């Protein structure tokens, strides 16, 4: 007899679990917080903008879920430590961490990129994932269970053409580091019941990430979107809501044997 329960849709439920989502105040983070709550998790909505974090938490509550908002700068050690203390003081445990917080910069070519832009993007996108993961691991180790989901990008899996004027090398490098770090976490902590996977979204419009990376006119953006459609087998861009199912799956016991994976959610972008 298997030591694991037979398949049931109940495996996707997250009732009684505590989920922390960074960058939850807008974009993908808001989608992730609502999705986890809809599956039964109590959500900690964390964001550098506390008002935005609380807005997401309130959306969760209006949907019948439970949520707490916390202010955090994921690039700052003390801020991350304070966030972790707030979670443990409120709930005494943490079951799911979604390292979603991320930023971009203007899409300068490497030889034209200010060093300050490189440092700023990597401080949030790479250092932030490291700091948040480091903070929560002791509690997950004590529980002998936890699911960490890192948000990488298809831009971290391969180069992106300069013709798109959409992705800078600092963003690609940071997201590539997140993909590799996710595998290392899975290897180091798998024997302690902790799983770690990464989602590498393709072009999902409707987030705030592109505002700084794409200081373009409406006409330029429309032309770029048309080009993206042509480069994607499904001939369209994604909607942030389409990521929710994959996230809930990776967070849940339905993915109990899934770890160390980087899953591209990209409409076939990486399949060419």
- On whether residue 3 sits in a domain, the answer given is no
β strands within the chain, DSSP E: 18-22, 42-47, 67-71, 96-99, 146-151, 194-201, 262-265
Among the listed residues 177, 169, 136, 193, the one whose alpha carbon sits nearest the alpha carbon of residue 262: 177
Residue 27 token pair: 């974009």
- On whether residue 253 sits in a domain, the answer given is yes
- On whether residue 272 sits in a domain, the answer given is no
- On whether residue 4 sits in a domain, the answer given is no
- On whether residue 197 sits in a domain, the answer given is yes
Q: Which of 95-99, 208-212, 254-258 has the lowest mean pLDDT?
A: 208-212
Chain centroid to CA 157: 15
Among the listed residues 54, 51, 16, the one whose alpha carbon sits nearest the alpha carbon of residue 33: 54
Q: For the domain that residue 204 is a member of, what is the CATH number?
A: 3.40.50.720
- On whether residue 271 sits in a domain, the answer given is no
- On whether residue 198 sits in a domain, the answer given is yes
Write the pLDDT tens digit of every residue in 84-134.
999 999 999 999 999 999 999 998 999 999 999 999 999 999 999 999 999
Residue 4 token pair: 């694991």
* Domain enclosing residue 203, as ranges: 10-265
pTM summary value:
0.95
The packing angle between helices 115-122 and 169-189, to 10°, is 30
Is residue 96 within 8 Å of 19, Cβ to Cβ? Answer: yes
Is residue 69 within 8 Å of 50, Cβ to Cβ? Answer: yes
Among the listed residues 38, 153, 173, the one whose alpha carbon sits nearest the alpha carbon of residue 99: 153
Total number of domains in the chain: 1
User: Are β-strands 42-47 and 67-71 bridged in parallel, bridged antiparallel, or unpaired?
Assistant: parallel
Is residue 232 within 8 Å of 269, Cβ to Cβ? Answer: yes
Q: Which of 1-15, 136-150, 152-166 has the lowest mean pLDDT?
A: 152-166
Q: How confident is the model at residue 176 (pLDDT cuts 50, 70, 90)?
A: very high
Mean pLDDT, rounded, of the chain: 94
Q: What residues are annotated to the active site?
A: 171
Ramachandran bin of 269, using left for φ above 0, alpha for ψ from -120 to 50, beta for the remaining angles: alpha
Write the pLDDT tens digit of every residue in 19-46.
999 999 999 999 999 999 999 999 999 9
Q: Distance (Å, rounded) from C-alpha 228 to C-alpha 225? A: 5
């Amino acid at each position: 007899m298997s030591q694991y329960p037979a398949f049931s849709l109940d495996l996707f439920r997250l009732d009684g679990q505590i989920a922390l989502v960074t960058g939850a105040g807008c974009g993908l983070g808001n989608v992730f917080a609502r999705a986890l709550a809809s599956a039964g998790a109590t959500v900690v909505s964390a964001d550098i903008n506390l008002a935005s974090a609380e807005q997401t938490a309130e959306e969760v509550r209006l949907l019948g879920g439970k949520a707490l908002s916390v202010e955090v700068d994921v690039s700052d050690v003390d801020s991350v430590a304070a966030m972790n203390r707030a979670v443990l003081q409120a709930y005494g445990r943490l079951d799911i961490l979604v390292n979603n917080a991320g930023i971009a910069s203007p899409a300068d070519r490497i030889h034209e990129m200010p060093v300050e832009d490189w440092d700023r993007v990597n401080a949030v996108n790479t250092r932030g994932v490291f700091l948040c993961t480091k903070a929560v691991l002791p509690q997950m180790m004590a529980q002998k269970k936890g699911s960490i989901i890192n948000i990488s990008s298809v831009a971290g899996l391969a180069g992106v053409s300069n013709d798109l004027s959409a992705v800078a090398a600092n963003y690609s490098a940071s997201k590539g580091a997140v993909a590799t770090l996710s595998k290392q976490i899975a290897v180091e902590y798998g024997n302690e019941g902790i799983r770690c996977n990464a989602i590498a979204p393709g072009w999902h419009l409707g987030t705030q990430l592109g505002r700084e990376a794409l200081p373009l006119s409406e006409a330029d953006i429309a032309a770029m979107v048309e080009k993206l459609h042509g480069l994607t087998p499904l001939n369209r861009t994604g909607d942030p809501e389409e990521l929710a199912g994959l996230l809930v799956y990776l967070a849940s016991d339905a993915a109990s044997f899934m770890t160390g994976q980087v899953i591209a959610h990209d409409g076939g972008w990486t399949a060419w």
